[in-house]
Amino acid sequence: MKAITANPETIREIFSKRYIIPDFQRPYSWDNETCGKLWDDITDFYDAGVTSYDKYFLGNIVINPSTKDSVSAWEVVDGQQRLTTLLLLIKALYSRAGTFKALEKCLRIEDPVTSSITDELRVSSYVISEDRENLQAIILDNVTDDLLECKIFDNYKFFCKKIDEWRANSRRTSDELNSFILALLDNVVLLPIHCDSEDDALTIFETINNRGMSLSDADIFKAKLYHYTPVNEQDKFIEEWNMLRDHDDIFRILMHILRAKAGDISKEIKMRSYFTKKNGHLSAYKEIMRGLKIIDAIYYEWYGNGKINSLWGIMNTYPNYYWQFPFFVFLHKYGLFDENAGEFVLPNKYVSQFEELMDATVQYFFIKGVVYNSVNAVRDTVYKVCANIEKEKDYLHDYKANIYKEDLKDFKELLYTDRLKRYQRGMVLLCAYLNPRQDEDEFAEFINGKVDIEHILPKKWNNYDHWTQKLWSEKLNTLGNLVPLSKSLNIAARNEFFDKKKEFYKESEVADVLDLITVKEWTPEALDKEQRKKARRLLNYFDIK
């Protein structure tokens, strides 16, 4: 990061420059309540008595040199809401103060040659909205009554009303109004943080505490995609964008699809840097939007089959999201997408291949997760798997080559303990799915509902037959004592004795739960038997001897 500078500037100094609100910002959003706080802050400061040495600090703005339209201007990364609101306040004061030249200079650019006032505003918005036109209508055209309703116009009218009330309540003269205006211009200050580049400004913006609304990565991507979209297609773009869900998540998946296409197995950079870097991907707006729509359709609409959806639901419990990337790279490469209908289909000839990939991914992630409990243990392998899927190379080899004998040994030992940590829920679900009597479609439907992990031996200690408190604490969180149960049944069965619990277990669609109905008593021996059965089932799936 290059050097930054920050020196307080008065409102008069702030509005001696030209500002551009870049298109990645949100539209103007301050309401009357927020404007009221600003008005109260300034009037309270003035009414307390202002000397030439008194200053009132309104906060920071983060700016960097703009390259838009070949004009000298500052791009506002943080502070657009405050700057726009101050512009509206200045215009409201100007409408009440008549010919106050200093206010007019704050509103409009001076011609550098003639020093005459032009029709260019000090603040020009490029945001996806009518902000720019509405500001011009209020400040240049003096529109007051016939403008369509919007927050900019509402807040301008609000300030006009507040000024009138402030003067009327204390019978303030025109001279007092002029005194107030001078205090606003010369005693109210902002701290502009001048950055050398947009990247530096974004970094500073993310690390300081301010009153503004934080921009997500998707907010910035949306605006840049809109910028690249032809004008006659922009309305359609907004409609399609608004139909997408969890924009940041699907952009992250798309990033890994694009990385795989490029054969990039290097350490990933931040998503914002990846998409907004020079010569980045967002200029290919049609390809980007199609990719996002495919991901959205897979994530929220596609039903593969019982196995696919069961394993997907199990992996949704995983503590990090890297397991998703091989799935989406494969589906994006081999699937068919009807853009008009928004429907995704994986052709039958690829289904078994995808199921094989899912099995290998589940096995790799749970072994590495249980043994290492770290995202660093899986990242590099995932990058290679994704790239080799795209290249149509042996991607399963990447998984196998990175599971070591020591990993298998440690994993096997941990299966018999209560130290599965963050992977306990997924292992319980996987074990239940692998029950040979379990219907895959029923399990897929079950796992998409509200699911709890039921402790057969209750979490609250009591003097159960055949159990000591020490033995109870040792066995409570082992696989043998855990089954997945719908939330409603789990609530009903909670902390009941085993005989009573079996009445609720009968209503479950999970074979592991139904198997318990034939067990007479939940003794240490019964739990150990269940533990051995589940461990064998899992070891067989993970191909561990």
pLDDT-wise least confident of 131-135, 204-208, 214-218, 328-332? 204-208
Mean pLDDT computed over every residue of the chain: 89
Task: Tell whether 413 is covered by a domain.
Answer: no
Average pLDDT over residues 500-524: 94
> Residues 458, 348: one domain?
no
pLDDT of 396 higher than 80: yes
pLDDT of 530 higher than 70: yes
> Residues 224, 197: one domain?
no
Whether the pTM exceeds 0.85: the reply is no
Residue 354 and residue 396 in contact, taking contact as beta carbons nearer than 8 Å: no
pLDDT of 438 higher than 80: yes
By C-alpha distance, which of 243, 275, 251, 253 is closest to 332? Answer: 253
Chain segment 89-116, per-residue pLDDT in tens: 999 999 888 767 888 899 888 877 777 7
Residue 370 and residue 421 in contact, taking contact as beta carbons nearer than 8 Å: yes
pLDDT of 206 higher than 70: no
Which residues constitute the domain of residue 512? 433-541
Confidence grade of residue 35 (pLDDT, cut at 50, 70, 90): very high
Task: Tell whether 412 is covered by a domain.
Answer: no
Domain boundary among 403, 425, 445: 403
Q: Using only C-alpha atoms, what is the Rg of the chain? A: 32
- Per-residue HEC secondary structure of 260-319 comes to HHCCCCCCCCCHHHHHHCCCCCCCCHHHHHHHHHHHHHHHHCCCCCHHHHHHHHHHCCCC
pLDDT-wise least confident of 20-24, 29-33, 84-88, 162-166? 20-24
> Residues 303, 349: one domain?
yes
State the Cα–Cα distance between residues 135 and 348, nearest whole angstrom: 56
C-alpha distances (whole Å) from 203 to each of 4, 62, 78, 219 are 12, 10, 11, 16
pLDDT of 178 higher than 50: yes
> Residues 152, 30: one domain?
yes
Quick one: CA dihedral 155, 158, 162, 168, positive or negative? positive
> Residues 284, 366: one domain?
yes
| pLDDT on residue 214 | 58
State the Cα–Cα distance between residues 278 and 264, nearest whole angstrom: 17
| pLDDT on residue 475 | 94
Residue 226 and residue 237 in contact, taking contact as beta carbons nearer than 8 Å: yes
Both structure tokens of 223: 């605006």
pLDDT of 186 higher than 70: yes
pLDDT of 209 higher than 50: no
> Residues 531, 480: one domain?
yes
> Residues 360, 450: one domain?
no
Confidence grade of residue 201 (pLDDT, cut at 50, 70, 90): confident
Task: Tell whether 428 is covered by a domain.
Answer: no
Both structure tokens of 183: 């205090």
Both structure tokens of 346: 């994986």
pLDDT-wise least confident of 56-65, 203-212, 315-324? 203-212
Percent of the chain clearing pLDDT 90 (strictly above): 57
Confidence grade of residue 211 (pLDDT, cut at 50, 70, 90): very low
| pLDDT on residue 378 | 92
> Residues 333, 227: one domain?
yes
Confidence grade of residue 286 (pLDDT, cut at 50, 70, 90): very high
Q: What's the burial of 111, exposed, middle or buried (CB within 10 Å: 0-12/13-18/19+)?
A: exposed
Q: What's the burial of 267, exposed, middle or buried (CB within 10 Å: 0-12/13-18/19+)?
A: exposed
| pLDDT on residue 145 | 60
Residue 401 and residue 363 in contact, taking contact as beta carbons nearer than 8 Å: no
> Residues 98, 140: one domain?
yes
Domain boundary among 207, 226, 261: 207
Chain segment 122-160, per-residue pLDDT in tens: 888 877 667 778 888 888 877 666 555 688 889 999 999
Who wins on pLDDT, 290 or 461? 290
| pLDDT on residue 116 | 77
Torsions phi, psi for 71 (to 5 deg) = -115, 155
> Residues 495, 399: one domain?
no
Chain segment 39-66, per-residue pLDDT in tens: 999 998 888 888 777 888 888 888 888 8
Domain boundary among 166, 181, 207: 207
Both structure tokens of 493: 């069965």
Both structure tokens of 171: 């019978």
Q: What is the domain count for the chain?
A: 3
Task: Tell whether 415 is covered by a domain.
Answer: no
> Residues 389, 468: one domain?
no
| pLDDT on residue 241 | 92
Task: Tell whether 408 is covered by a domain.
Answer: no
Average pLDDT over residues 342-366: 97
Instruction: Read off the amino acid at residue 446.
Output: F
Residue 201 and residue 64 in contact, taking contact as beta carbons nearer than 8 Å: yes
Residue 105 and residue 91 in contact, taking contact as beta carbons nearer than 8 Å: no
Residue 270 and residue 389 in contact, taking contact as beta carbons nearer than 8 Å: no
State the Cα–Cα distance between residues 136 and 147, nearest whole angstrom: 11
Task: Tell whether 76 is covered by a domain.
Answer: yes
Task: Tell whether 315 is covered by a domain.
Answer: yes
Average pLDDT over residues 538-544: 95
Task: Tell whether 422 is covered by a domain.
Answer: no
> Residues 258, 192: one domain?
no
Q: Following DSSP, what letter does each residue of 1-34 receive, concatenated?
A: ----EE--EEHHHHTTS-EEE-TTSPPP---HHH
